[in-house]
A and B are shown apart, each in its own frame.
Chain A
Amino acid sequence: MARPRKNKRSSQQVGRLAVAGDGFRAWSRHHGYSFFSSLGELIRRPVSAGMTVVVLGLALTLPLGLFLVVGQISQLTQGIDRFNGLSVFLETSVTEDEAIRLSSELSTWSEILAVDPISPAEGLTEALGHLGVAGTGFGPEDNPLPWVLEVSPAMEANLEALSKRLMEETAIEQVIVDLAWLARLDLLIHLGERVVYVVGVLLMLAFLFVIAHSIRMEVHHRRHQIEVMALVGATPAFIRRPFLYSGFWFGVSAAILALVFVVLAGWGVSAPLRGLADSYQISLALNAPSVSASLGLILGMGCLGILGAWVAVSQQLSGAWPRD
């Protein structure tokens, strides 16, 4: 063993180091250390880290996929041309003149915005078109349809009261408020969205606890290392930081994996989905989330990972400091 040089140093000089690295540069060096040491830990144990990431990724894929499907369907229904009004069927005996006169009279009502009269002939053409049997040779004299007035109510109008008032007109046979099925569809979509949120929240919790559990195991695994670090003067923050980074890496890589899974799932169902959509003459596809949504997801899951790690580490580290 070599002998240290024998120049006598003042005792003040000794121990000066404790403050030598303070400030922002020391802080950034600490972060650099945590950044690389946490990555190193994950790479050193690729199988267990990989399995955790896959479990997390799968837990994220389900709510993410559901969210995209529901979003797609709700967008689709918004595209449906909504006639947001009342269909007023007149008596079959009503003539064209009477129908036009009634229609202009109704349009003066304060609760009505506009009235659009549809002649029996127009109605028949439209109906046959819908049924896919256009041009089957119905003549005007065979037309069983009455005149119909499509009434757009004013915004503030009470539809029920308006339809009652309309029924009092002798020429009007029936008033149909044609919104029920759309309203039901809206409710269904709303329910679907709720289900996605509930499933999402539950799986987020699972996500949080899987990360917390993994970090807990890691802290346990590195108990000795933590004790040694505390012994040579590491602060709790310094010891905690690499684990928080690990949580962040878990979250980020799980989010990326979930995005990959969703895109693959989208490809998997694209052919039958396109077939279905074509048969309804609509466009429907399971689109990948946008770039900004993906980045948001990745960052959000990273933060969730930090939170999970924090919970696990704070609860485990107390043993490294003196017992009273």
Chain B
Amino acid sequence: MIQFDRVAKQYPGTGLALSDVSFTLERGQMAFLTGHSGAGKSTLLKLIALLERPTRGQVLFDGRNVAKLSTRHVPYLRRQIGVIFQDHRLLSDQRVFDNVALPLVIAGVSYTEIKRRVRAALDKVGLLEKERLYPHMLSGGEQQRVGIARAIIAKPAVLLADEPTGNLDPELSAQLMQFFVNLNELGVTVLVASHDVDLIARLNQPVWVLKEGQLTHG
């Protein structure tokens, strides 16, 4: 599903964020990506979602070289990927309902269908009764769950999460990671970047370690 072949990424004026990264994440597989902060975890995820383009090497998504994807096709690639950010990236002036509905609105789904599926997704993350609130009225953990609902609402083939447990307590973190495992069991390809090594170790999934811009399989 996702294949990195000797990928390097350099930001202008800085050293290499990734120097030589190769891996294959099969369709329906799950993996954790770990490493200390600044090791390039976020960069790796951004390369998959085409938020950045690689400096060297190839990133293949579903067999296609994303570097060769024209800007016109980028949105359609992104619709196949759900991304969860540490800082949530919610729209502050829109209600929880509208935030979660955004991918469906973009895909042109009918309003009745949107209503049904947003309710279902909010129910899944336990926020159904908060659909009319604005993000700033929610706790950090609740905002994170809104972000998760938005990431899974369009049933993406791939789910990427960047430090999703960043500011959650241990119990909520464990619940969240288990949620990702369950999603993976439904057929979603999942890649989670996290520095919470202890938690990851308990989940019995492949762990990849990023160190000095290179990937080692743990």
Contacts and interface: CB of A to CB of B under 8 A. Distances in A.
Interface of A: 1-11, 13-18, 20-22, 25-27, 29-30, 33, 44, 224-225, 227-236, 238, 321-324
A20 B52 contact: no
Contacts of B93: 44, 225
Contacts of B145: 1
Contacts of B179: 1, 3-4
Interface of B: 27-28, 49-53, 71-72, 74-76, 78-80, 83, 89-93, 102-111, 123-126, 145, 150, 154-158, 172, 175-176, 178-179, 182-183, 185-189
A14 B51 contact: no
A323 B75 CA distance: 14
Contacts of A228: 89-91, 102
A29 B104 CA distance: 11
Contacts of B49: 231
Among B28, B91, B106, B178, chain A packs the most CB atoms within 10 A around the CB of B106
B2 to A, nearest CB: 13
A3 B184 CA distance: 12
A230 B75 contact: yes
Q: A-B pairs with the 5 shortest C-beta distances?
A: A26-B108, A21-B108, A15-B157, A233-B79, A233-B78
Contacts of B150: 232
Contacts of A324: 53
Nearest to B152: A4
Nearest to B98: A37
Given A4-B183, A15-B157, A322 B108 contact: no
B146 to A, nearest CB: 12
24 contacts: A1-B176, A6-B185, A11-B27, A11-B189, A13-B155, A14-B186, A14-B188, A16-B155, A17-B79, A17-B154, A17-B155, A18-B79, A26-B107, A29-B108, A30-B108, A33-B105, A225-B93, A232-B78, A232-B106, A233-B76, A233-B106, A321-B74, A322-B50, A322-B74
Contact of B107 (A3, A8, A17, A321): A17
A234 B111 CA distance: 17
Contact of A323 (B52, B111, B124, B189): B52
A318 B52 CA distance: 14
Given A1-B175, A26-B108, A228-B91, A15 B83 contact: no
Contacts of B175: 1
A21 B101 CA distance: 14
A321 to B, nearest CB: 5
Contacts of A6: 182, 185-186
A33 to B, nearest CB: 6
A232 B99 CA distance: 11
Contacts of B110: 21, 25, 29
Contacts of A321: 71, 74
B54 to A, nearest CB: 10
A14 B90 CA distance: 24
Contact of A25 (B75, B91, B105, B108): B108
Nearest to B69: A322
Contact of A2 (B90, B108, B111, B126): B126
B157 A14 contact: yes
Contacts of A227: 89
A4 B74 contact: no
Contacts of A17: 79, 104, 107, 109, 154-155
Given A4-B124, A4-B186, A16-B155, A21 B109 contact: yes
